[in-house]
Amino acid sequence: MVIGCGIVLFYLNIVLTNLVSLRQLRYIETLDNATLFVPLHDTLFIDWVKGYQMDQYITFALRDMVDVCTYSWIFVTVLIWWSCSREAMVPAKILTVQMVVIPFFSISQLLTIVPDSTPNCVEVYNIPKDEDISWVFWKYPLRACGNMLWSSDLAQLVIFTAMAVQMVSARKPRTRWLVWLVGECWTFLTIVFIFSSRYQYSMDVFITILVIKLLVTHPGVELIATQCFIKKGAYYARARTEEELEMSGL
């Protein structure tokens, strides 16, 4: 069940991401008279960071560092979970959050067309311009053209940071606090790379952090995860959690 749902979400994310790029391409070619779609003026990047003075190869190197920070944290979190925890609730909650995030992010981007933060992103990211749009269903998008409102890399980083903290027992508050601190510092480092490379608008970063943090801490996530992905979910949903037992002194 979990593996099958994960595969479906992965493929759905590919298709929806390609659709966002296709929508950006169609807008540039038709409604915008085939002119370059100029990025919005990001005050933080342009006026504060002075990012327009950076060479393109430096910008792309910094963007690669965003992926390195994100996927390395995910890999370490999964490795520690597999080695030390293997608690079923952790992947169940991650999958539940992804079920909400992936469609919500993609649909919101399809509803509003905003220039990508990368100038001439269609050319830079090699978005196919053929009349045949079958590539939407099979091409793996290394980068999405038209990605706005949300930072997908940062969303995954916040999700897995929250899960890493929750893997630590509530009986070890210092260890849990230390994991939280390392995760927040790692997230801040990733944000520095995002701002430095103009990977996303600053608005994308702030909105993503706020929405994802509210989502991963919502009690409904654990309830849905328990009912959908945990065996005998109805029984465990009635069972008292470790935190509740500690509060009651049992």
**Model confidence pLDDT, tens digit, residues 199-209:** 888 888 888 99
Q: For residue 212, what pLDDT band results from cuts at 50, 70 and 90?
A: very high
The first and second tokens of residue 23, run together, are 């929508």
The H or E element containing residue 42 is none
69-124 pLDDT tens trace: 999 999 999 999 998 877 888 888 999 999 888 888 888 888 877 888 777 788 88
Give the pair of three-digit tokens for residue 199. Answer: 């990977």
| Distance in angstroms (rounded) separating the CA atoms of residues 232 and 226 | 8
Question: How much is the pLDDT for 13?
Answer: 87
Q: Quick count: other Cβ atoms within 10 Å of Cβ 52?
A: 10
**Global model pTM greater than 0.85:** no
Higher-confidence residue: 177 or 28?
Answer: 177
Contact 129, 152 (CB under 8 A): no
pLDDT tops 80 at residue 18: yes
Question: Other C-beta atoms within 10 Å of 220: how many?
Answer: 10
**What residue spans define the domains of the chain?**
41-115+147-248
Looking from the CA of 150 toward its CB, the CA atoms found within 13 Å total 22
Hey, CA dihedral for 153, 158, 161, 167, is it positive or negative? negative
**Range 169-195 average pLDDT:** 90
